[in-house]
Amino acid sequence: MRSFPPCLTLAAILIGCCGCEKNPFSGTFGSDASTAGQVETADVNAADVNSADGDSAIDIVSETIGDGRLRQRLGDLFERVLPTLEETRQLVDRHAELPDSSVIPFKLDKQSNSAQINELLDQAIVALSISEVSDYRRRIREANEAIAQSQTNIADYRRQRVSASWAKDQSQLDKVNPFELSKEALDESIASEEKEIERQKAILVKLKKTFAEELSKIGVEVDQEGVESLLSSVSGDDIVTMAVVFDNIKHVTAQLQELTEESGEALDVSKRYYGIYVVMIHVMDRIQKTFVRDVHEKHIPKLKEFAAQAEQNIKQAQTLIKVSGGDRDVLESNIASNELTRQTAGLYVEYLKRNAALIEKENKLAQKKLATAMNTYDTVKLSSDVAALMNTGRRDFETLMKLKVPSLREFNNEAIRKEFQRMTSELRAGR
């Protein structure tokens, strides 16, 4: 998603626009604003985890953030996202009055206004996608990358070992040459990397457990197989981001409700804050629609290409076997490999379809909420009970994103899991 420039502080908006005197999160914590698209670190960063030894590293990753840090994160979130939501609200307000289209160059119409709204909604999604869940997801990736790097190092050391000399056979010059390692030195390096792999695997077990617990806190029910599916699938990142965004929307709604109550429900302030609430429902609608569109228009077609290419390779290998046009053993191995690709692509397509159906169902509910909220927004001009309306909306958010993420049960098959992950890497590279 696109990043966006630093926004105005919330204090300036509240004092200048609505007369409110305080940020609900201010007075205790500083405004250590983070840029959009960056993932906030939790109690420790990945470098701290990776540099820790044994059990202490595992203990660190299972710690939960304190109330003070949570309040600071929510305060930073509120300051970061509110200006974008406010700007979007202004565009939504003028939309109905604009012509459907215009032949005059650069004259504003509904089409160009919608494009501006969508761009701002994307910026809001970036700002709302930061949480502890995002941090654990990042740290899991870093642990996996560390394991992959150690495995690469081991392969390199073993290659070097083939031509290396035993220490007793090395010349004096070779012994002081850092690029001429003995077999013993390479064996020690291999053992060290193997130990590091085991350490990272132990950390991963704890990280994944905590990741599942954090997901549960924001309404995503997921078992261990579901965690593996989320972390390994091209749709997993989007589902997690969606859940994080919705959870943060609930927190922002709660603060808008509080500010509305503190304003004495002055109509101009109430209308402004309810308008921002309406924009957040637009955010929900956009992120869901984008997810479903990407599944059907990008990911599934690409997977079908993988399967079609595998089918073509199988037929070609079978033809070569019939006419004795190649090494039979190699060709049969190629057939088996392509059968695995075809099977995994089919499983992947079905998995993505289940995810898309799940989100489509949620989006139908969001559509109803959006229609109701837009109608209510016009009514707010005459209403003095906006805080109660927001409170109802916040409770709706709590039930709207209660997902039971489908698992890829075939993940207990090591070959399918590896092929699944390979396809995910290709799909992500093509995004």
* Residues 383/246, Cβ–Cβ less than 8 Å: no
DSSP state of 295: I
Name the residue type at position 268: D
Q: Are residues 313 and 429 in the same domain?
A: yes
Q: Which of 67-71, 257-261, 386-390 has the lowest mean pLDDT?
A: 386-390
pLDDT band at 302 (very low <50, low <70, confident <90, very high): very high
Q: Is 218 helix (H, G, I), strand (E, B) or coil?
A: coil
How many domains does the chain contain in total?
3
pLDDT band at 383 (very low <50, low <70, confident <90, very high): low
Q: List all residues 6 or more positions away from 377 whose beta carbon is below 8 Å from its beta carbon.
A: 271, 274, 275, 278
pLDDT band at 18 (very low <50, low <70, confident <90, very high): very low
Q: Are residues 338 and 415 in the same domain?
A: yes
Helix axes 132-163, 236-262, angle to 10 degrees: 150
Q: Are residues 32 and 181 in the same domain?
A: no
Give the distance, in angstroms, between the CA of residue 220 and the centroid of all CA atoms in the same chain. Answer: 13
Q: What is the pTM of this model?
A: 0.70
Highest mean pLDDT among 16-25, 56-65, 274-283, 407-416: 274-283
Q: Are residues 75 and 57 in the same domain?
A: yes
- Nearest one of 364, 399, 393 to 376, comparing CA atoms: 393
Bigger pLDDT: 207 vs 266: 207
Find the distance separating the first CA and the last CA of the chain, reported in whole Å: 11
Bigger pLDDT: 191 vs 384: 191
Give the distance, in angstroms, between the CA of residue 65 and the centroid of all CA atoms in the same chain. Answer: 20
Q: List all residues 6 or more positions away from 300 whose beta carbon is below 8 Å from its beta carbon.
A: 349, 352, 353
- Nearest one of 74, 81, 72, 91 to 29, comparing CA atoms: 72
Q: How far apart are CA 345 and CA 298, in angstroms?
A: 14
Q: Are residues 154 and 38 in the same domain?
A: no
Q: List all residues 6 or more positions away from 24 whose beta carbon is below 8 Å from its beta carbon.
A: 75, 78, 255, 258, 259
Q: Are residues 86 and 96 in the same domain?
A: yes
Q: Per residue in 43-101, pLDDT tens?
A: 334 334 444 444 444 444 434 445 677 778 788 888 889 899 999 999 988 888 888 88
Q: Are residues 343 and 407 in the same domain?
A: yes
Q: Is 422 helix (H, G, I), strand (E, B) or coil?
A: helix
Residue 316 lies in a domain: yes
- Nearest one of 313, 305, 292, 278 to 357, comparing CA atoms: 292
Segment 283-298 mean pLDDT: 92
For the cut 70, the answer to whether the pLDDT of residue 391 exceeds it is: no
Among 217, 235, 265, which residue terminates a domain? 217
Burial class of residue 59 in the structure, from the number of CB atoms within 10 Å of its CB (0-12 exposed, 13-18 middle, 19+ buried): exposed
* Residues 106/121, Cβ–Cβ less than 8 Å: no
For the cut 90, the answer to whether the pLDDT of residue 147 exceeds it is: yes
Backbone angles phi, psi at 120, to 5 degrees: -70, -35
- pLDDT at residue 200, as a whole number: 96
Segment 142-171 mean pLDDT: 91
Q: Are residues 97 and 223 in the same domain?
A: no
Residue 136 lies in a domain: no
Q: Are residues 115 and 241 in the same domain?
A: no
Among 152, 186, 217, which residue terminates a domain? 217
Q: Are residues 248 and 198 in the same domain?
A: no
- pLDDT at residue 264, as a whole number: 74
State how far the alpha carbon of 209 is from the alpha carbons of 41, 147, 227, 228, 311, in Å: 18, 18, 9, 11, 39
Q: Per residue in 323-352, pLDDT tens?
A: 877 788 899 999 999 999 999 999 899 989
Q: Are residues 373 and 294 in the same domain?
A: yes
Q: Are residues 249 and 213 in the same domain?
A: no
Q: Per residue in 102-142, pLDDT tens?
A: 777 777 888 899 999 999 999 999 888 888 888 898 899 89
Q: How far apart are CA 172 and CA 156, in angstroms?
A: 24
Cβ count near 170 (within 10 Å): 19
Bigger pLDDT: 47 vs 305: 305
Give the distance, in angstroms, between the CA of residue 63 and the centroid of all CA atoms in the same chain. Answer: 21
Domain that includes residue 331, residue range:
219-431
- pLDDT at residue 157, as a whole number: 94
Placement of tokens 């190092």 in the chain: 153
Among 131, 151, 177, which residue terminates a domain? 131
- 220 sits in which H/E element: strand 220-221
- 269 sits in which H/E element: helix 267-294
Tell me how many degrees the CA angle 301-304-309 measures, rounded to the nearest 5: 130
Residue 213 lies in a domain: yes
Tell me how many degrees the CA angle 348-351-352 measures, rounded to the nearest 5: 90
Percent of the chain with pLDDT over 70: 75
